[in-house]
Structures are given as C-alpha cells and as structure tokens.
Amino acid sequence: MIIKGNTGDWEVILGLEVHAQVHSNSKLFSGAATDFGSEPNTQVSLVDSAMPGMLPVINEVCVEQAVKTGLALNAEINLRSVFDRKNYFYPDLPQGYQISQYLYPIVGKGKIVLDMPDGTAREVGITRIHLEQDAGKSLHDQSPVNTFIDLNRAGVALMEIVSEPDMRSPNEAAEFMKKLRTIVRYVDSCDGDMEKGNMRCDANVSVRKIGDKLGTRCEIKNLNSVRNIIRAIEFEANRQVEILESGGTIRQETRLFDADKGETRTMRTKEDAHDYRYFPDPDLYPLVLTQDYVDKIKKSLPELPDEKKTRYMQQMGLSAYDASVISADKTNAEYYDVVAKGNDPKMAASWVTAELFGRLNKAGIEIDKSPVKAEQLSGLLKLISDNTISGKIAKQVFDIMFETGKDAAAIVEEQGLKQVTDTSAIEKVIDEVMAANQDKVAEYKSGKDKLFGFFVGQVMKVSGGKANPAIVNEMLKKKLS
C-alpha cells in the first residue's frame, strides 16, 4: 500500500506477532484441562494458581505441536531452547511472571508463501516461534464494583509466531493470517478460530518514504479478526503519515484498536525487553530435543497446502484458482479428494467449487455439515460420465440431493431422468418437432443454417432435457439435410 502525501509517497512496513493457542488437552506446565467455555476457575491446578512450592512440568504434546508448526513453516528447529521468566504484574497472572522463551526459542527462521487474490505469490519470513503461557482473564462486567478473575486460561500453551517486517499492505497481512490459519489447521496444532480467541494478532506498523530506513513502529494489540487487521493497519498507517507530514515524530508505543470507532489509540508507551527482567526459569531445565525426534515428527506431517496446490495443478490439471480454493482448507481438500477419485479431476473441481460451494454459501452451511456427502457427489459425477444423465439434468438432481440428502441414482430412478440414448425414441421426437415447424424446416433447407440451434433446443425441450445431446445433433443433421 502506498499512501500519497503532500511531501511524496509513503510505504507501509508491517510485521505480525500471532499468538496461537496450542491444540492440547492440558496446559503447558500442568495437567489442568483446556476446554473452551467451561465454568470459571474449574480448570485450574495448583501450578496454574501459583501456590507456593508448586513446580512446572513441561507437556510433551505442546512441544510436539510447536515443532510440527515450525516444520510446516519451513523453519529451523532449535534442538536446545530455554524457558525464561518474563516479569510483570497483572491481576490475572498469579505467578507475577509469564514463562516464555526469549533468547533461545524452540523454532528459528522460516518462511510462509502467501497466495494473493490477484494470483501472485508473496514470500514472508518467519523470525521465530516460541512457546509461552497464557494469562488468566479479568471479568469487569459481572459486578458494578468488583472485578473477578477467571484462571481457566492461565497456563494454557501459546505459540507466539513472529514474522519479519516483510509485508507492505493490509491485504498482505490479512493473507498472512489466513495462510497461517490454514497451515496450523492442516497440522492440527491450533484450531485457528479467531472468534474464540485461539488465534490473535498484534501488528507492528511503521511508514517510511520509499527507500528510506525503517521508521519508528507502533504495535497494535490483540486484533481478533481478519477484517479488523485490515481496518486497524489502514487507520494506523494514515495516522502516522499525517503526523510525519505535519512535522511531528512517531512515539514508539502500544496501541489498541477500537473496532466501533475504527481507530487506534494509545494503550501504553512501549516497554523494551530489558524492562521485563527476563532470566532463565530456575524451575525448568533447558528443553533439549534429538534430531531423531524432530525427523520422526517431520515424517508424520500430512501433505501441506502448498504441496497439495502444486499437485492439484501439475498432476490433476486444475486451474490455479480452483487449486487454491480447494487446498486453502483441509476439510475442502478432503472432500474434493473423495469426489475426484475415479472421476475427471477438473470436472470434480468445478462441481465442488461452483455447484457445491455455491449452494453451501447460499444456505450458510459449513462443508462438514453438507447435506450431500463427498461419496454422493462422486456418485452423481459417475452418472454424468457414463451418460446416464446429462450435465444439465445433473444440476437438477444435485438440487434435490441437496434438499433431501438422497443418492443421485435413487433420484434419477424415481423421477425417470435417465438420458435417452435410444435412437428410435429420439428420432420420434425429431419427427414430431419437424412436423410442427414445417415453415422453419423449409427456411433451414433454403440456407438459413442458424436455425439448427432452434431445432436442437426444441428436441431437448420436448424430451424434457433427457435426450443425449450428441445423438440429437447427429440425427438432426441427417434428417434436415
């Protein structure tokens, strides 16, 4: 995004820090459950409430999830990483510090490829991923005079995924979030549900004249939807340009986005890392992994979205658009794979992306609740391929399948929709049409070739759309010549 100012063009520089809740049944350093939406303070162990003498014990599942995510982002896995205490006071942080990773994170440099809506690809660097604990939650709206604390979330494992400042527009930031969500869902390391807060994003925004050195950045905290990421960045970048153009300077600070007003405002001036007095947590050994352990996890990874997209395009001949749309969601891809098996892959793709997605969108239904199962759609396509029904009739059948959940073959049978390939039956219809339109037959014979389409249309209409179009064409040509 380029912002036109009075003094010239400004470029927007963006980096993101994403907090993704690790998919795990228990917390990072305790055995307490992590279920969403439970009664307050029912999922709190003595470790999470920081009772004296309690010791943290690392949860291996969380480690594995971080490694999986790192591998899926083509990142270096650090075989030795260290947990540090990040010290600060917060009423919902009973320890008085967060256990996080500072100098030695579990995952180092990686990269992610964004599929931009205009069909181009854009590579963005990943700086690091570290594991850390989430804090609890202060409830301010339960009483007019008191604030309550819910520690269910205290100690839940988060992956903080930090990008390089490689993005240049709010849309790239939006695509970054979408692609990251796709990837963590593929490897099942996070549910990626922004509405439930299990993926939240902080955006670092600065502006500069093209070619200048980096400007001072502001961090916008806790953006909880793709739409708000775009809105917040747009507002913030324009705010900074306005200040700089009127001769002011940008103060490094942490800002909040007010979604109702569509603006960012100061939350606190920015603290630096040294303010937190990081030091290695004496209760935890450094985390040491073997290469063998990492290799085993690598082997267990599923086919990732970029690989899938490439395979769809190169081996199955799908367009870049269809391949992107289908591979962008694991559930879509699983559905498509079933439909494509034993059918023409391109035909399967167009039925899934146009016919199925169209109907699902209209009805507001998610694909995993689709009234037509993948096997059933595959069955419908087989009826087209073996000429039992035409493509046109298939769309009618699909409508009925979508409404009733019945199999295609049963509907075709019940409604007598089988395609007519019997030449004598088709010949009868052609004779009927010619008899009813003798004037047009004469015109055609005297050279008005265009009328051919009219005859095809009539024959199809009289046959209720069931006549095989190829046979109709062939026979009509003979009869009219």
Point out which span in 34-42, 154-162, 257-265, 275-283 binds Mn ion (CB under 5 A): 154-162
- Which residues touch 253 (CB under 8 Å, ≥6 apart)? 218, 219, 266, 267, 268, 269, 270
String of contacts with Mn ion for each residue 401-430, x by CB under 5 A: ------------------------------
Alpha-carbon distance 380 to 394, whole Å? Answer: 7
Q: What is the dihedral of CA 476, 479, 480, 481, to 10 degrees?
A: 120
Give 388's Cβ-side CA count (13 Å radius): 17
CB atoms within 10 A of CB 378: 18
The CA–CA distances, whole Å, from 400 to 283, 295, 342 equal 63, 49, 23
**Which residue's Cβ lies closest to Mn ion?**
160
Point out which span in 157-165, 206-214, 314-322, 389-397 binds Mn ion (CB under 5 A): 157-165
Task: Report, in Å, the least distance between residue 67 CB and Mn ion.
Answer: 19
Residue placing its CB nearer to Mn ion in the complex, 160 or 253: 160
Residue placing its CB nearer to Mn ion in the complex, 19 or 330: 19
Q: What is the dihedral of CA 320, 324, 325, 328, to 10 degrees?
A: 170
String of contacts with Mn ion for each residue 94-133, x by CB under 5 A: ----------------------------------------
Size of site (CB under 5 A) for Mn ion: 1
Alpha-carbon distance 138 to 410, whole Å? Answer: 57
Task: Report, in Å, the least distance between residue 88 CB and Mn ion.
Answer: 11
Task: Report, in Å, the least distance between residue 273 CB and Mn ion.
Answer: 12
Point out which span in 61-69, 155-163, 164-172, 250-258 binds Mn ion (CB under 5 A): 155-163
Residue placing its CB nearer to Mn ion in the complex, 88 or 454: 88
Residue with the two structure tokens 């006071």: 89
Residue placing its CB nearer to Mn ion in the complex, 267 or 456: 267
Q: By CB under 5 A, is residue 160 in contact with Mn ion?
A: yes
**Cα 213–Cα 214–Cα 217 angle in degrees, nearest 5:** 160
What is the b/e burial string over 60-85, where b = at least 16 CB atoms within 10 angstroms of the residue's CB? ebbbbbbbbbbbbbebebbeebbbbb
Which residue, among 179, 159, 157, has the nearest Cα to 67 in the 3D structure? 159
Task: Report, in Å, the least distance between residue 63 CB and Mn ion.
Answer: 17
What are the structure tokens assigned to 84, written together?
Answer: 């540090």
Point out which span in 34-42, 158-166, 266-274, 457-465 binds Mn ion (CB under 5 A): 158-166
Task: Report, in Å, the least distance between residue 222 CB and Mn ion.
Answer: 11
Alpha-carbon distance 103 to 80, whole Å? Answer: 11
Task: Report, in Å, the least distance between residue 237 CB and Mn ion.
Answer: 23
Point out which span in 22-30, 43-51, 159-167, 461-469 binds Mn ion (CB under 5 A): 159-167
String of contacts with Mn ion for each residue 182-211, x by CB under 5 A: ------------------------------
Residues contributing to the site for Mn ion (CB under 5 A): 160
